[in-house]
Each structure stands twice: as structure tokens, then as C-alpha cells.
Amino acid sequence: MYNKNLILIIIAQIFGFTAAPVTIFLSGIIGSTLTPIVSLSTLPTAMMVVGLASSTMIASKIMSIIGRQKGFIIAAIYTSFSALLAALSIYIGEFSLYCLACFAIGNGLAFTHQYRFAAAESVKKEMIPRAISVIMLAGIGSALLGPNIAIYAQDLIPEHTFVGSYIALSFLTSIPILVLLFYRQDSPGQVIVEKKVVIVRTYSELLRSHRFSQAIVSAAMSYAIMSFLMTATPLSMHHHHGFSLDSTKFVIQAHIIAMFLPSLFTGRLIKKYGHSRIIYTGILFFFLTICLSYYENTYFNYLIALIFLGIGWNFLFITSTSLLVISYKAEEKFKAQGFNEILVFSMQAVASLSAGFMLTLAGWEIMNNICIPLGLLVIFMTLRADLYDKKKIHQPNIRRV
């Protein structure tokens, strides 16, 4: 399964994706020091997600024109400069500029999230779930590397805490530029489409495919639930319940590790049990997270809940991604991928934007309860797709006389 392209993508993913855990970990805390309005503390985090969501279609379009390699390199340069902009905004204490920098970091992450599609295109069809799992597993490296270096470098500039964190992030996100110089667009596993007239389905036609719509809904709801609760966690723990910065960091890191560590076996589970069963298992972990919110908000409770949240996301997101890439034609890949990304990350943006407000307004338990209907929607779409497939299999062939 492993080839040169896939290994290069893995390395680029580790360093490029550090922008996400660092911003998730620090932005709410930094936001609370830059604005007196508590409900706006998570706005920088949300702006990162909005930046991601608003750029997904653009990222797919650019890569369809200039290719994966150039697209990833340009994104790495852009993200590196965006991190420097964040450092400047913290240095001068400008909240709106920090929000803009987080938005720009999100723009770069829209390209970084395309690494999983590049990985799928680098291997044979039967190895796609495992390739995606390996790329997602690389996120553990990002989760361990990013926040730890951010904490280590936080006092690099005296009397300006966290400026050094984003200077360090700028360096980390620039490393993929060198790595991707050795990436080659055409790999043995990629599907090469001949130049000919092809019929590409419209967006409505794509959505009428039960498996395609199941994949999109599962991915969108997994990100919405995860982002809604994760974005509010640092603020809930550190500001509302007085847990230390180190305790909060560990919970977020444990959550991010839980998001990616199951990737060691998620691909194999999908191959053995099928997409739908793994989606149901992911929803079960989400519901266990929600149940834990009914108990006292202790450190251990937060830790277990965020670990379950991460596992649930992993099962749903990897499964929906591997389901997506086998539900469209080769000539539709950039259109289908871009459509999937904008729907998925738009849902994440809405969830992130509302997280701080809902935490202040309703509290942690109510926030968890809001996620129940989203999980039920995934169950409905999965049951619908399964029943449709069974109906097709058992439908008798009727001959006209």
C-alpha cells in the first residue's frame, strides 16, 4: 500500500495540520484576553472554521486546474504567513485582526483537508479505507507536536504571551513546502481519465444517490457535533470551571488523539463489517458523550467525554470519506469532493460560531442535548440507504411481453 506519494502526504499532513490543534487549543483562551465579551471568546475558533468552509470549493477548483502538488505548496506558504499575522495581532492586542488571521488559517486548512483525497488517489481502490485511515492517523503527530511546541514557545517574546506560539506554528506549517517538492501528480494508483466528452451529474443528481447523500450527511453531522462540543470545551473548563491551562490542554490533546488513533484499525473494521455498521458504532460513542454531560463537570468527566467524542468522529468521518470516494465517477471527483467539503465544513462553521453563545446561554448539558437530533439524522440516512440497497438486490427483474 505504501508508496512515495503516500509517505510524502503523511509527512506533509503531520506538519501542515498542526495549524488546527494549535488554533483550537489557544484561540478561545487568546480570544478571552483580547475581548471583554465572554460569548465572543470562541469567535476566533469559529472564524477558522468559517475560513475553512468558505474555501473548500475554491481549494477543489484550484487543484483541478493546477494539480495537487502546486495547490498544497501554495496553501502551505499561505498558512505560514497567516500564522505570522496571528502572532502580530496578539502582539498589538487586536482582536479583529486575530479573528482575520484565524480565518486565513482556515483557508489554508481547506487545502490540508484534501490530503485524504490525495491519499485515496495514491493507492488501489481496495486500499482506499486504509490509506485514508493512515492519513487521519498522522493527525496524532499534529496533535502532539503542535500544542506542545505552542506551549513551549508561548513566552518566546517577553510580555507577549502566545506570540511565540504562532511564530513556531509558522515554521511548522512551512515544512510541507519542502516535502511536497518531491510529490508527483501521477501515481500508480491514480485513475487517469482520457480526454473525452463525459456526462457529469448535477449536484441534485449526486444527492439523489442514497450512498452519496449518506456519506455527506454522516460527515457533516460528525463534524457539527464534534466541533460544537470541542470548541466550547476550553472555555467551559478553563473559564467556567477553573481548570488549569495544562489540564485543559491535556483534555484537548486526548480528544484529538482519540480523533485519530482509532485510524489504526478503522479501515480494517470498514472492510470487515461494512460502512453502515461503523457509522452506527460512531453514533453510539456520540450518545455516550452526551450521557456523560448529565453528571458533574469533573476533570475525569470532561476527559472521558472528549475521548468518546473523538472516537465517534473518527468512525463517522473516515467511513463517510471512504464511502464518498466510491460513490462518484472519476470525472466527477473534484466536483463531488468540493461539494462534500463545503457542506461538511459549513455545518462545522455554524456549530463553531454558535458554541460560545450557546455555552453562555444554555450551559454544557443543554449543548450536548442539542446534538441528539443530529445523531438521529445520521441513523435515518444510513437506514434509508441500507433499505434502498436491499430493495434493489431483492427486486425481481420484470420482463415486458
| pLDDT of 182 above 70 | yes
**What single letter denotes the amino acid at residue 135?**
I
| pLDDT of 393 above 90 | no
Q: What is the DSSP-derived secondary structure letter of residue 155?
A: T
Please report the pLDDT score of residue 220 as a whole number: 94
Do residues 180 and 69 touch, judged by C-beta distance below 8 A? yes
340-354 pLDDT, tens digit each: 888 888 888 888 778
Please report the pLDDT score of residue 80 as a whole number: 97
What residues contact 231, with CB distance under 8 A and at least 6 apart? 24, 28, 42, 45, 46, 351, 352, 355, 356
- Greater model confidence, 281 or 261: 281
Please report the pLDDT score of residue 401 as a whole number: 33
pLDDT over 70 percentage in the chain = 93
| pLDDT of 357 above 90 | no
| pLDDT of 171 above 70 | yes
- Greater model confidence, 271 or 71: 71
Please report the pLDDT score of residue 257 as a whole number: 84
Q: What domains are there in the chain, each with its CATH number?
A: 4-183+202-391 (1.20.1250.20)
Please report the pLDDT score of residue 198 as a whole number: 58
Q: Work out the pLDDT band at 334, boundaries 50, 70, 90.
A: confident
- Rounded CA-CA distance 231/25 in Å is 9
Please report the pLDDT score of residue 366 as a whole number: 92
- What is this structure's pTM? 0.75
Q: Which of 139, 157, 156, 199 has the alpha carbon at shortest distance from 19?
A: 139
Spell out the long-range contacts of 364-369 with Cβ–Cβ below 8 A and sequence spacing 24 or more. 364/232, 364/236, 364/240, 364/293, 364/297, 365/293, 365/294, 367/228, 367/229, 367/232, 367/293, 368/229, 368/289, 368/290, 368/293, 369/290, 369/293
